[in-house]
Chains A and B, each alone.
Chain A
Amino acid sequence: MSASQQTGPVTGERAAVSKVAAAIDRAKAEGRAALVGYLPAGYPSVQESIDAAIELARNGADVIEIGIPYSDPVMDGSVIQAATTEALARGFRVASVFDVVKAVTDATAALGTAVLVMTYWNPVMRMGVDEFARRLAEAGGAGLITPDLIPDEAAEWFDASEKYGLDRVFLVAPSTTPERMAMTVAATRGFTYAVSLMGVTGAREAVDQSAQRVVAGAREAGAERVCVGLGVSNAEHVREIAAYADGVIVGTAIVSALRDGGPAAVGRLAAELSSGLGRATGPA
């Protein structure tokens, strides 16, 4: 489509301003991959989502993704849909995400945890891209993961993210062509999100074979940091991905743990998942 001619900024993943890159690089310096954990804001309540995210960070997550519950989450499977639907039914308001980001960032300052917001695009557009970015930066947020925003449509987001020094995490998939891979990697700051399979979020038995191919494609396109997500459910999966990626993203499994056992269960799961991060020797 002609829109892809629209040019994003020429910058690559600028480590100097990227909180997320710094967190991933710290893990790298320790000889391991980074753990990226997802939780929706406001589930089961705003306070519990804050508590759970802090547990996640204290037990090994280097980067936290705070999801904004949205009415039409087309990239999400049933577990995350159920959680975000419940949050909305209990009256979650988008602006609360800044409170969650601020509380988690403040509580994890000593750990250097980077806090990203993952959101479908319409809530951002509705608030105003600049206004949203300003408030996110003010709350200490690192940037945005945008599952339904491709760089082709991201002109406003490029401007705002540059202005407020925020990371732009775009997704790449097994279906991404080399041409789009290059364009997307160039548009990205923080890390490139490699979708492991063709599908929506949800726990899977095994890591899809295509994940490694997507990571290799992203690296060929010049990506410095690539994290793998979708279907990653246990320490065994983490170990497998940590062998070739810079970070491992876990969502559904963490949301299930929160649903079944509250913030404490999230902490226990994070600790277990972290055990898979080491490259050379995983703990027994």
Chain B
Amino acid sequence: MAENAPEGSAAASGPNADTNDSRGPADAFLGGSLRHAAGPYYGAYGGRWMPESLIAALDELEETFEKAKQDPEFLAEIAELNRNYSGRPSLLTEAKRFSAHAGGVRVFLKREDLNHTGSHKINNVLGQALLAKRMGKTRIIAETGAGQHGVASATAAAFLGLECVVYMGAEDCRRQALNVARMQLLGATVVPVTNGSQTLKDAINDALRDWVANVETTHYLLGTAAGAHPFPSLVRFFHEVIGEEARAQILEQTAKLPDAVCACIGGGSNAIGIFHGFLDDPSVRLYGFEAGGDGVETGRHAATITLGRPGVLHGARSYLMQDEDGQTIESHSISAGLDYPGVGPEHSYLHDIGRVAYEPITDAEAMEAFSLLCRTEGIIPAIESSHALAGAIKVGQRLAAEGGDPSDRIVIVNLSGRGDKDVQTAADWFGMLDENGQVKGTTLSTRQPKGASPHTAGAVGTGEENA
């Protein structure tokens, strides 16, 4: 599948050459396909900035992956699970009432929120868990921010009979308590991480420390298209299905390609998955929306590409939020899943060559779009995905301003997840909670609670008791 990858030649020129990738987008198109870039380098980005202790495991993973993706049996297994377990293909839904707020262009939602476990994360997790089994590993570890990747990992582990440990920043545990309980119900152990900023980056640090110590038995199931080679291309591979489906569906529903595709960017996995389907369609504009937090001018944001500069973190060279000393800067976002100071290396490359435009969306803009989708379409989106929705509103308005009939214009939004996990955060944001954190108007009952007494053992067991 990788025969067209132009990065093969870029790799030979080495990772350290800041300047040696001078290709503009036009050159990139002339040079062939941007799809299926195999890594380890994407222009000057990517690589393996990792302790030697882990290189053998990365080599083993790469080798297993390269074989698996040529193996019809493996591909059939993935396709079967996607169909009968995750519920793929996910729908492409036209958001007609929402469209009115986006300059009147036609907005379509790629419904990754309808996948089993409620987000795109399941695509990658099933693929990697199958690879883990191929490598004979019995234990998977994962980091999680919003908890969606943790829940997906716990799900795949339960389904495939693997032990699962999830590292989650203590701050994220607080923000996404419901997902902590979901992971535990699925039999996973959740380890709250109290180092550093207590969010996603620190969860990755602790997962890496676990991996170094347990690499014989353990696969690190990284949840986004970042990290050391082969993770960026491997994670993308399992998410390419999003873009492939979306392209076929939009052609079927409208008989033409979209004008623009919008996705939110945490580490970049849902975005690279949907972009991949359109990378070689020059007429399709691609937009990645980063978390602008309180606003990029406040310094409290997670707009890595917008304001970061190249550096190395968690195994790859890529854009990075860092200070003058090269210390990682803490990111800020209302969305736990976007609250990460790094970004996948392929995005850094796509930014530099101008193929994808990356823009920040503030917390307030995202929450407005969140509310809008709830009320116009009857869909509660994840706050992560709400960044893409807010971006699509802007893109739609810009397209409309270019003239012509806006209803001839088409924008696809990757609705990467559903918002069930975010109800508490949203209720808080919209002032729906009383001073005790209870939803206003829900504490009026004068009866004794009728609920059953708790059966804690069932809820917190490892799920392996009967194994």
Contact = CB atoms under 8 A, between A and B. Distances in A.
Summarize B's interface: helix, strand, loop or mixed: mixed
Interface in B24-60: 40-41, 47-59
A208 to B, nearest CB: 11
Nearest to A127: B326
Contacts of A184: 52
A3 B53 contact: no
A12 interface: no
A148 B49 contact: yes
Contacts of A72: 196, 201-202, 205, 313-314, 328
Contacts of B327: 70-71, 88, 123
A173 B52 contact: yes
A171 B54 CA distance: 11
B326 A126 contact: yes
A175 B201 contact: no
Contacts of B311: 122, 125-126
A200 B208 CA distance: 10
A121 B48 contact: no
Interface residues of B, number: 47
Contacts of B51: 74-75, 147-148, 171, 173
A176 interface: yes
Contact of A153 (B48, B202, B205, B215): B48
A275 interface: no
Nearest to B57: A175
B322 interface: yes
B213 A198 contact: yes
> Quick one: which of B14, B49, B230 has the most chain A CB within 10 A?
B49
A175 B53 contact: yes
Contacts of A155: 14-16
A180 B205 contact: no
A208 B8 CA distance: 40
Nearest to B201: A72
Nearest to B215: A198
Contacts of B16: 153, 155-156
Most interface-central of B57, B214, B312 (chain A CB within 10 A): B312
A94 interface: yes
Contacts of A172: 52
B47 to A, nearest CB: 5
B304 to A, nearest CB: 14
A25 interface: no
A200 B213 contact: yes
A199 B50 CA distance: 13
Nearest to B327: A71
Contact of A1 (B40, B202, B322): B40
Given A2-B40, A200-B209, A124 B53 contact: no
Contacts of B209: 74-75, 77, 199-200
Contact of A150 (B14, B55, B208, B326): B55
Given A1-B58, A175-B52, A175-B215, 12 more contacts: A1-B48, A72-B202, A75-B51, A81-B195, A94-B325, A122-B312, A155-B14, A173-B52, A176-B56, A180-B55, A195-B53, A198-B213
17 contacts: A1-B58, A71-B196, A72-B196, A74-B209, A75-B212, A85-B196, A94-B325, A123-B325, A123-B326, A148-B312, A152-B47, A153-B15, A155-B16, A171-B52, A173-B52, A175-B56, A198-B215
* Leading 5 A-B pairs by shortest Cβ distance: A126-B326, A123-B326, A173-B53, A175-B56, A199-B213
